[in-house]
Structure 1
Amino acid sequence: MDRDNVRIVLGDVEVIRVGEWTGPFAPARDLVPDSPVQVWKDNEGWLAPAHWERDTDRAVAALQTWVLRSAGRTILVDTGVGDGRERPGSPQFHHRQSDLLGRLARAGVRPPDVDVVVNTHLHADHVGWNTHDVEGEWVPTFPNAQYLLPAADDRHFGPDGAYGGGVWEDDRLVYEDSVAPVHRAGQAVLWEGSHRIDEHLTLESAPGHTPGSSALRLASGGDRAVFVGDLLHSPVQILDPSWNSCFCLDPAGAAASRRRILERAAAERELVVPAHFAGAGAVEVRRQGDGFALSRWAAYGAR
């Protein structure tokens, strides 16, 4: 198995997982503050080592992009952290260097080949490769792509919302180097509510993590999947969807969106594809009491 390019076919859509980085990310209950210590210990059998490093009590996460080949087009879902970014508020992202474009090339995807870029929301680790540095100027990495941006996030994190209300300097930096250049190039498409990409793919709003957080639904033949962005940072949140990550701007809204998405996923047997799950990266879920349980991991197996 090519560890960089793990593939699965859902109906008429090919899905390719392209990793940027995987490893211990943060203390488990810093990442998911409401999750009890005992929950992690009780579920060690499937959490460790892919999603939890027991000895250090750190959650394991992945930075990755999902490539979808659908209806004759190539679509990227989120674009990772990027290279050489000023992110003083996020040491793990600050001046980071990665070979994501090389890994995309090994998956058969060159920047001019990309037709659509989906940013599920506008946090730093979802928009970084939207652009790249050309002679000191940030320009779109994918010159022929339409970039689908949630309008609510564009307002919140952009100058109209004074870059996230000025709470965090990184929000301004992210917008200026990874979002504004896409607007200037005329490649940005803002959407609200829902947006149909093609006969297999539909974006829908799932606010809470950010104002414009979204989910991408895939329905092709008898197969179903939902790319949920940061509605889930760790599989423990599947057990109780009221447990938010520390990054959720509207905790009540995020919990409501998480429950709604998981309820439909369980009812329709959708493969749930979060942005940051390591291990197999995607999972089917089922109802269990007031929450949910993991049914089975994606068929292509763990990385």
Structure 2
Amino acid sequence: MTTEISKVYQVGDVTVTRVTEMMLGGIPPEVYFPGSWDRMFLEENRDSLPSGLIDGNSQLIVSIGTWVVKTTNHTILIDTATGNDKNLPLNPDLANLQLPYLKRLKEAGVTPEEVDYVLLTHLHVDHVGWNTKLVDGKWVPTFPNAKYVFPLAEQEYYSSEASHNKANEVNFNVYEESVLPVVEAGLTQTIGPEGGHFLEIFKFIPTPGHSIGQMSISLKSDGEEALFGADVMHHPFQVFNPDWNSMYCEFTDLARISRLRVLEYIADRPVIYFSTHFPESAAGYVTRNGDSYKWDFI
């Protein structure tokens, strides 16, 4: 269950809290879903869609944030948003931010020193930024006592110059500022291509396509289940239209396959879907709607 104010959820014996770094509106859907956007979808379904998906000008609303998972023994972050002070020459909209993320994290009951693990679904700009912070001109780990855990395929790809294809231009310089410093500090652990269990309650599940080695993360506790879906979907419109890729999907065919696999897995089951970029609470359930799917926030 959750409250609209705190956005705290219970999954078995584990609590999950949403910490939102920023909300973004005014995003043209035809730009966000290149080659896929169908204006008639919105016109025909406007009255039945959940509220909060679009602004008053029918432009998309998306969020960027972190999920805080607290168990009896550990404090875990899943993805670390965008970060402050980042030098992103090909992504000026997210460069040199000055946002109160750490204050919001503290309001959620977490100080950087208390974080035991940082689980990263993939290594894109808006998922790894707060891995590091700028101190006296040097990038240092924000969570000094944490182990940073992420897919090995992501590290191998984004540490290479070959990774900077057109779809990935917005992530130029991200690895160098937000990942490499924690690698050099000896704070990382990688997950192989098959995924696998972690800390008993988590499981890394390969869902490539948006990025080369992206993984979603399953959480099971005391008979209850949730799924941190990463960027399998960026917006609830993709629940209703699984064939729509976002402009940031690097491997489009694989992205569609992974999206359908996730929707099939969670549909009509009591599995909370914790998104990274959905607006409103960013959490909800997927149900079947004939041959398609629908989304409801919780």
TM range (shorter): over 0.9
Identity over aligned residues, as a percent? 34
Q: 2:4–2:281: 8 Å Cα contact kept in structure 1?
A: no
In structure 2, list runs of 5 or more residues that go unmatched.
Answer: none
Separation (CA, whole Å) in 2 of partners of 1:163 and 1:61: 29
Aligned alpha-carbon RMSD (Å):
1.8
Q: Which residue of 2 aligns with 1:183?
A: 183
Structure-2 change in CA distance of 1:25 and 1:12 (3 Å): farther
Judge conservation of contact 1:40–1:236 (CA < 8 Å) in 2.
Answer: no
Structure 2 letter corresponding to 1:51: L
Distance 1:47 1:123, change over 3 A: farther
Q: Which runs of 5+ in 1 are unaligned?
A: 299-303
Q: CA deviation at 1:255?
A: 0.5
Count of paired positions: 293
Mark the CA change 1:199 to 1:25 in structure 2 (over 3 Å): closer, same or farther.
farther
Q: Counterpart of 2:132 in structure 1: which amino acid?
A: T
Cα 1:181/1:163, change in 2 over 3 Å = farther
Deviation at 1:47, TM superposition (A): 4.9
Alignment of 1:92-241 (within 5 A): 92-158=93-159, 161-162=160-161, 164-165=163-164, 167=166, 170-192=170-192, 193-241=194-242
Higher deviation after alignment, 13-22 or 259-268: 259-268
Q: Which residue of 2 aligns with 1:37?
A: 39
Q: Within 1, Cα distance between the matches of 2:243 and 2:233?
A: 11
1:136–1:245 Cα change, 3 Å: same
Question: What is the distance in 1 between the residues matched to 2:204 and 2:81?
Answer: 19
Alignment partner of 1:122: what SS? coil
CA distance in 2 between counterparts of 1:157 and 1:47 reads: 37
Q: CA deviation at 1:140?
A: 0.7
Counterpart-to-counterpart distance in 1, 2:179 and 2:48: 37
The offset of 1:66, in angstroms, is 0.4
Residues 64-121 of structure 1, C-alpha deviation per residue, up to 9 Å, x if partnerless?
A: 1100012410110110110011123223201111111010011110001001101111
Take 1:126 and 1:200, find their aligned partners in 2: how far apart are those partners? Answer: 21
Find the aligned partners of 2:203 and 2:211 in 1 and give their Cα distance.
19
Mean Cα deviation higher: 89-98 or 167-176: 167-176
Which residue type is aligned with residue 35 of structure 1?
A: W
Q: Secondary structure at the match of 2:280?
A: coil
Normalising to structure 1: TM-score of the pair?
Answer: 0.91
The secondary structure found in structure 1 opposite 2:24 is: strand
Deviation at 1:270, TM superposition (A): 1.2
Q: Confirm or deny: 8 A CA contact 1:157 1:172 kept in the other structure.
A: no
Deviates most, 278-287 or 37-46: 37-46
1:62-101 matches, cutoff 5 A: 62-101=63-102
Alpha-carbon contact 1:68-1:76 (below 8 Å) kept: yes
